[in-house]
Structure 1
Amino acid sequence: MTGWWKNRSSAGKVELYTRWSFHLFVLIEITSFGLPALGAAAEDPSDLALPLSLFLLLCAHAVLCGVLASQALTWVVGRRERPTRSAVTTASLTAAAVLGILALKAAGKIDEPALAPMLVLGLTCFTTGSLVLCMQSVRSMRYVAPVAATGTGVTVLALGLPAAHALGYFLGVLLCCLFFTATSGFSAWLLRTVHELDRAREVQSRLAVAEERLRFGRDLHDVMGRNLAVIALKSELAIQLARRERPEAVEQMIEVQRIAQESQREVRDVVRGYREADLAVELEGARGVLGAAGMDCRVDFLAAPGRQLPSEVQSALGWVVREATTNILRHGDAHHCLIRLTAAETGSVTLVVENDGAPEAPAGPPGSGLAGLRERLAALDGTLQAGPVGDGRFRLLAQIPDRRLQELEVRA
């Protein structure tokens, strides 16, 4: 049960809680409004047909409202069309049931004074809650309760019941339906908002990747565009000179070769800059991104005074921080995150990224992200360990040995 709940995202948890709340309404309607109808049979055991019929009516209505609520919630999260037919059917059957109960009350078939008002309130209120879920605008929602109350009051007057009874039905239905309208409308709004935020976070990560690709493409175009234009122009000039058997054609081709070699060097510089990650920038970026996502992110940089890590080490650890931040945002439901970088005066450099809210079981096969990090660290004789550490926490540990650090520092 714990894993079944923890493995869900925040949007999934809110949706599950909302669904089961409306499923619980089915039991509430049956126990609170249907069972009292059976209780009326205890006072007069000779006539069981009417109480049993009312009880079955409430049971059928409760199930119908539960089905409509489930369909409406699926529409709210965007996984099906609006259940218009189910809503019209539920509203029509509810109106017919209310009319039948009021007609029985007017004919004197229901002797219990509080039974008919109670049944009418139960039918109208739970129907209102399910219908509101099928509406998107508040302007449409606010008309449901007044229409239900006015229709009930007019029906009471039309059946010849006293005006005081009509007023009582009107006020009771109005107040109860307004309450259900507010609660159901808020539930639908909350569920819709949570799913929109979840989709927005996914779109944001995709836009970040797309923006990085555009930046890389723009840098590559700036480097290669001018050089390729010059190469094309000089090649055309060399062709014309060669056709005329002019010796300057050789000089032009030598110039083309020089520009091509320079372009190769510039492209390598661009790619190297794209592949390298600044550790300090990545640490601050992780703090800002995770904080914006509502997490409590703490970054500890425990480094010896004056010690500067080699650029290769900073780049590798920067990629570890970037990948760990992405995984925290995409998987699990973290609330707290700790990023600790330890670089003593001597000894290995250690980077720890630990967060809570991790799923107990992996959602699928391991991706290429961790494998790529292990390859980057292996080039520096480093290691990477990643996995759950209990109590719903996930830890990623990267280490680069002191021997390799000294080699890189001497080379620098």
Structure 2
Amino acid sequence: MAGPGGWWGRKSTPAKVETYTRWSFYLIALSEPLVIGVTALGQVEARLALLFMVPVVGHVALALVLVSRALDWTAGRRPQPLGLLGAVGAATAVLAVTSLVLTQHGPDGEGAETVLGAVFGTTVTYGVGMMALAMKERRRVVWLVAGYGVGAGLVASALGVPAVAALSMAAFMTAASGFIAATSCFSVWLLNAVYALDEARETRARLAVAEERLRFGRDLHDVMGRNLAVIALKSELAVQLARRDRPEAVEQMIEVQRIAQESQREVREVVRGYRRADLEAELSGARGVLRAAGIDCEVSGETDGLPAEVQSALGWVVREATTNVLRHGDAKRCTVTVRRPEGRVVLTVRNDGATAPHGSSRAGGTGLAGLRERLSDVGGTLDAGEAGDGEFRLVAEVPLTARPALEVVS
């Protein structure tokens, strides 16, 4: 069974941020009864403290559900929880007003007033903060904070609290609930930013693939379009000449055959250029893309003089490894090393992403399986897996006397 570290390591960066945000607010909500319980300890008798805590626990339960639904709404998995938002707002207001009324007209004793004051302060502060998670417009959050702050002052004044004390209470509640609400708004903004960056990364990868496909299609059209038009015209001419028993028909068909063979050669060249990756270009591109993504990338080693087949095979390794680091890992640093022991070339890619990319374990995965096939065509091998200390390592080894892979265009 995988331990907690494996569970965390398998999550994507946006999922990690969402989990951290979710549990942070769960703990904030759960601290509400803890604060009140600590305040009640030694202040009032146990039965009265339990009576105070029952509605507080109900308020916390509603707040926990609101946090869960609000973050699901932020992630686009649920509609905005407007009904639950209203329920938490009403429960917060009722609990706050009730605690203020009991403070003025409830059980006698300084201890009871202290506990009821804690109930009032925590329920308003935490309730407003949790409600801010489910509100999209920040202007409404400001009105929410101001409304509860002013409402607290007005209710206190109506219950006979001196004007200065009521004003101080309103200012304190506005500041306290505003701080929690601001924390909620910032957390939602950060979560949305992380999801947007992840989506942009995925979009960039898809655009790169689409651009390469368009380039290949354009090159193939340029090669085949003119030649196929010539073949069609000469074939039609040969048919007409053959119907008239003209010997020139044979010459035209010979020309058609020559153009067809030339087209086949040109298509092979296009496919060969499409399938062949230049190692130096791939290393330079990997360095630029990873650094743009905030990952420190270092490349070392010499690639000059390597056979074209070796460069192509290792270039694909660099391309796939870079894609995995960007899409699946949570790396902060990546190193790419090219060594040339006697008779072979060893390419090593290390990153501190901690866990093997999804679908790219040591046993296999479509990306690494494809690389193994490419390397096997030139007599090479691939080894990939966790290297300890939270590091993932990929090692490709190709002999310098690599045999070229056969390319067949049907």
| TM-score computed with the length of structure 2 as normaliser | 0.89
Matched, 1:355 2:345: no
- Is the 8 Å Cα contact of residues 103 and 117 (structure 2) preserved in structure 1? no
Q: How far is 1:162 from its partner?
A: 3.1
Residues of 2 paired with 1:144 and 1:110: CA distance?
A: 33
- Is the 8 Å Cα contact of residues 125 and 176 (structure 2) preserved in structure 1? yes
Which residue, 28, 33, 43 being the options, matches 1:30? 33
Give the corresponding residue for 1:283.
Answer: 283
Give the corresponding residue for 1:56.
Answer: 54
Give the corresponding residue for 1:69.
Answer: 67
Which residue, 324, 327, 331 being the options, matches 1:327? 324
- When the two chains are superposed, the root-mean-square deviation of aligned CA atoms in Å is 2.3
Change (3 A) 1:154 1:243: farther
Residues of 2 paired with 1:39 and 1:82: CA distance?
A: 42
Matched, 1:11 2:14: yes
Residues of 2 paired with 1:369 and 1:361: CA distance?
A: 10
Give the corresponding residue for 2:171.
Answer: 171
Instruction: Give the counterpart letter for 1:90 in structure 2.
Output: V
Instruction: Give the counterpart letter for 1:215 in structure 2.
Output: R
Give the corresponding residue for 1:180.
Answer: 180
Give the corresponding residue for 1:371.
Answer: 369
Q: How far is 1:39 from its partner?
A: 4.5
Give the corresponding residue for 2:407.
Answer: none
Structure 1 segments unaligned to the other structure (5+ residues): none
Residues of 2 paired with 1:160 and 1:114: CA distance?
A: 17
Instruction: Give the counterpart letter for 1:217 in structure 2.
Output: G
The secondary structure found in structure 2 opposite 1:230 is helix
Instruction: Give the counterpart letter for 1:250 in structure 2.
Output: V
The secondary structure found in structure 2 opposite 1:334 is coil
Structure 2 segments unaligned to the other structure (5+ residues): 405-410
The secondary structure found in structure 1 opposite 2:301 is strand
Instruction: Give the counterpart letter for 2:26 in structure 1.
Output: H
| TM-score computed with the length of structure 1 as normaliser | 0.89
- Is the 8 Å Cα contact of residues 3 and 360 (structure 1) preserved in structure 2? no
Residues of 2 paired with 1:208 and 1:229: CA distance?
A: 31
Instruction: Give the counterpart letter for 1:12 in structure 2.
Output: A
Residues of 2 paired with 1:347 and 1:231: CA distance?
A: 48
Residues of 2 paired with 1:383 and 1:105: CA distance?
A: 77
Matched, 1:337 2:334: yes
Alignment of 1:209-220 (within 5 A): 209-220=209-220
Residues of 2 paired with 1:207 and 1:120: CA distance?
A: 54
Which is worse superposed, 146-155 or 308-317? 146-155
Give the corresponding residue for 1:118.
Answer: 118
Residues of 2 paired with 1:100 and 1:363: CA distance?
A: 56
Matched, 1:309 2:313: no
Residues of 2 paired with 1:92 and 1:238: CA distance?
A: 89
Q: How far is 1:227 from its partner?
A: 1.5
Q: How far is 1:38 from its partner?
A: 6.2
Change (3 A) 1:56 1:35: farther
May I ask how many residue pairs the two structures share in their alignment? 397
The secondary structure found in structure 2 opposite 1:398 is strand
Give the corresponding residue for 1:253.
Answer: 253
The secondary structure found in structure 1 opposite 2:298 is strand
Which is worse superposed, 171-180 or 251-260? 251-260
Q: Comparing both chains, which one has the higher relative contact order based on Cα–Cα distances under 8 Å and sequence gaps of 6 or more?
A: 1
Residues of 2 paired with 1:143 and 1:73: CA distance?
A: 21
Instruction: Give the counterpart letter for 1:293 in structure 2.
Output: A
Change (3 A) 1:56 1:139: same
Instruction: Give the counterpart letter for 1:168 in structure 2.
Output: S
Which is worse superposed, 271-280 or 247-256? 247-256
Change (3 A) 1:111 1:237: farther
Give the corresponding residue for 2:396.
Answer: 398
Change (3 A) 1:228 1:360: closer
Residues of 1 paired with 2:334 and 2:144: CA distance?
A: 46
Deviations 1:81-112 (Å, cap 9, x if unpaired)? 21111111110111122222222233244643
Instruction: Give the counterpart letter for 1:262 in structure 2.
Output: E
Q: How far is 1:2 from its partner?
A: 2.2
Using the aligned pairs only, state the percent identity: 52
Give the corresponding residue for 1:97.
Answer: 95
